[in-house]
Structure 1
């Protein structure tokens, strides 16, 4: 990978424009509403006039397009397998959100030829300059293909539910990622909570465990209550934030979003870019 790393270094030196913040949205297990959160959080950001791109990184099981009632012309697999430009793969989603559909092409990322890697890095770097936020909807758990993207993200959102298995797996995810990149910021979200009190207890427990056993300070971003409006929106293939903007889940998500934006605005603004972190990851590979 040394030659590819040199290519990426040159590409980064040539690019001086603004880069969007990259957020990896993940969970320890499936079925916690991660993809639904990703698309609705993106819609919420777009409503605040931010430019948002959602990338479905769930290899082989991408479902972002199903949640919004769209059919993909292309997926990210078409970029690697057929040479389709990344800009042609970007689709128009709800509320002004853009998205890239998932596919199996990511399995090739670790074995790309120099030519394909050069093309991918150049095109992806250009995309980073067009958006304020790029949300990567990762598959549950960790694969070799997804790991480098998660640890290169500026921040990681970890979604859990109050179920004991989801809590345990969320902690395992934090533990694993902390070993790979100790300084990556974590934000915890409890989804489908029967009550705000219950959800806060879950977040407090997870944050406490991270502090005690991982020596990791994590942010408790918020709680989204169990709400039938979410199921109705999934059936209608419409984001619940648009279908029922005054529902409990919608109100909670907007509060969570405002909390995130408020905390973010207090930051130093010195975070490394996504591609800079990818570069560091590649340089340190054995």
Structure 2
């Protein structure tokens, strides 16, 4: 009886330790799209700022390697990029820049020279460093490249939740479906959210989502989650030109209010228990696929 009681105490202790480790893991959101030009990076950046304002530590990882969209749109002066880490000149902490409202940024860089040295050792080093970031921040928002490349698929597949950005344009909707199909066919089981962007009104947003959701339901047997929509707004164009996130340049606009509502949804659901880590899932994917 004594041995049984001791065993129960050990089980509860292990459970407490597991729950503690789970709660220390960042929630990872992958923002992606089937095609470029749908406002993906703008959404990721402003969502990050909104979550930061709610009292959480946020890191934006620009996984659109070879581009510098996040740093440009945020007006952030970035000294080092992911390529400085890849070639071994800087640690992961040295390439983290501070963006608007105190969010942290890792730039994807503006050149492709680093991709040629992304070998197994560099991948393992990247994963090890990301593990440290995962335990020291609350949210990691990954701004992926558009379309279905190996890099995009791996980062998205490892995320806790995916946010698909689409516009009402038929080609954007079809490309978004192709991205969703790729995720499902590869075994993704996280929540897939959809944001209808650059719409004229709520009716068009719902129609856009319904078209995508109907196809996903009929052919993939899954239900998508309608996260929300952002209407066409000159505040976005003005913010891009000024290199200031629209949440800062026009905080009272309807799109800023909608971003804040979406951010709150993720913060309120951040207590969902995750049974494994982003880096753990990424590591398994890279082993299975043979690298980025």
TM range (shorter): 0.7 to 0.9
Q: Which runs of 5+ in 1 are unaligned?
A: 1-12
Q: Does 1:191 align with 2:203?
A: no
Given candidates 269, 273, 280, the residue that maps to 2:277 is 273
Counterpart in the other structure of 1:112: 120
The DSSP-based 3-state class of the residue aligned with 1:135 is strand
Shift of 1:108: 4.2
Equivalent residue for 1:248? 254
- Tell me the CA shift for residue 70 of structure 1: 2.1
The within-5 A match list for 1:1-286 is: 16=21, 18-103=24-109, 104=112, 105-106=114-115, 108-109=117-118, 111-113=119-121, 116-262=122-268, 264=269, 268-285=272-289
Asked if 2 retains the 8 angstrom alpha-carbon contact of 1:225 and 1:252, the reply is: no
Distance in 2 (alpha carbons) for counterparts of 1:211 and 1:99: 36
2:177, 2:216 within 8 Å by CA — same for their partners in 1?
Answer: yes
Shift in CA distance, 260/126, structure 1 to aligned 2, threshold 3 Å: closer
- CA displacement 1:128-161 (0-9 Å, x = unmatched): 1111110110010021223221111111110001
Question: What is the rounded CA distance, in whole Å, between the counterparts of 2:116 and 2:136 in structure 1?
Answer: 26
Instruction: Kindly provide the CA deviation profile for residues 53-84 of structure 1, in whole angstroms up to 9, marking residues without a partner as x.
Output: 00111121231111111232011011011331
Q: CA deviation at 1:282?
A: 3.6
Which structure has the larger Rg?
Answer: 2
Q: Structure 2 length as normaliser, TM-score? A: 0.86
Task: Count residues with an aligned counterpart.
Answer: 268
> How much does 1:107 deviate?
5.7
Across the aligned residues of Structure 1 and Structure 2, the Cα RMSD in angstroms comes to 2.1
Gaps of 5+ in 2: 1-17
Deviation string 1:195-227 (CA, Å, 9 cap, x unpaired) is 011111111221222122111122110011111
